[in-house]
Structure 1
Amino acid sequence: MKFSELTSDQWYDLLPYLDTCLIPVSGLVGDEPPHEAAERIAETGDWLQPLETAFRGRTVTMPAYHYINVAEKAEIERIGAICGRVKQLGFKYIVVVSGRADWAEAPAGADLILKPEESGMQPDTNKLRQAITELWKQEGRSR
């Protein structure tokens, strides 16, 4: 589900079932002309859409974080802080999803980052779904 689909009553009723938050990160730095910005946002959407479809009813997609230089540690720390605050809302898992391959590191507050291994790589829907499923299975194993 997208954040905008939930009313306040629904949020509290569904919270036990909506345990995974997806945070899209486009990685725009501000020097992209409009057509390049649109392409980068669409790339992130290509990585996000299979997850939203496969796991509707268990995931919530929060608003996208567009402007961040994913190659800078301080900006990755900022995303990590956002992940931590979002987790305080009651989510067990935070998954950062991006169409950018050039991350300096994964955000500390994220349980998983899904992104291309190299620029221009297309998402493999099965691998994306498997990564989320493995994250959930790890929780079951640690009990």
Structure 2
Amino acid sequence: MMKFSELSSESWDELQPYLDTCLLPISGLTGMEAPWEATERMLRTGDWLSVLEQAFHGRTVTMPAYHYDQAGQDAAARLNELCERMKSSGFRYIIVVSGRPGGVPEDVSAASLWIQPCEEGEEPDSAAIRQAVSAMWRAGAGRS
């Protein structure tokens, strides 16, 4: 898997045409979690993220996780702004990944795709996730 910390200035210039998709994990912590709850939430997000990292190694870059936020309109606005900034830095697609249902606010429209469970305890479906990402890439292939 390609992590942001593995890229130098020189390698980024060389690899950027191939690494067009950013994976943005969000844990949705509020700061009110006990340490074990924060750990559990981050591990669940990692479970969903690892499916993408393994399936699409060589085309994606996993950026640092976005951990703390409050629910509501401001959360969506901040995530939309972050996605737009990542696009302006050179990524064509932004996939936001959460390990909990509703972890991605519904009005995060700047993300190319959201990956998250529909219900508590749901495990990632590797085939469905690969299909969703492939469909996103196919749909974007005709855009400039």
TM-score for the superposition, normalised by structure 1: 0.94
Q: Is the 8 A contact 2:76 2:108 kept in 1?
A: yes
Q: How does 1:106-117 map to 2 (within 5 A)?
A: 106-117=107-118
Aligned partner of 2:20 in structure 1 is 19
Structure 1 residue 60 corresponds to structure 2 residue 33: no
The one-letter code of the counterpart of 2:13 is Y
The one-letter code of the counterpart of 1:67 is Y
The one-letter code of the counterpart of 2:127 is N
- Root mean square deviation, CA, Å: 1.3
Structure 1 residue 80 corresponds to structure 2 residue 80: yes
**What is the aligned residue count?**
142
Q: CA deviation at 1:108?
A: 2.2
Q: CA deviation at 1:106?
A: 4.1
With over 3 angstroms needed to count, the CA separation of the structure-2 counterparts of 1:12 and 1:142, relative to structure 1, is closer
TM-score for the superposition, normalised by structure 2: 0.93
Segments of 5+ residues of structure 2 without an aligned counterpart are: none
**Aligned partner of residue 25 in structure 2, secondary structure:** strand
Segments of 5+ residues of structure 1 without an aligned counterpart are: none
**Aligned partner of residue 32 in structure 1, secondary structure:** coil
Q: Distance in 1 between matches of 2:114 and 2:45?
A: 12
Residue by residue over 1:53-96, the C-alpha shift from the partner in whole angstroms, topping out at 9 and shown as x without a partner, is: 11111000000001123x31111110110000010011110110
Q: Distance in 1 between matches of 2:74 and 2:120?
A: 22
**Aligned partner of residue 25 in structure 1, secondary structure:** strand
Residue by residue over 1:92-115, the C-alpha shift from the partner in whole angstroms, topping out at 9 and shown as x without a partner, is: 101100012124414121011111
Q: How does 1:22-101 map to 2 (within 5 A)?
A: 22-69=23-70, 71-101=71-101
Q: Percent identity?
A: 51
Q: Which 4+ stretches in 1 moved above 6 angstroms?
A: none
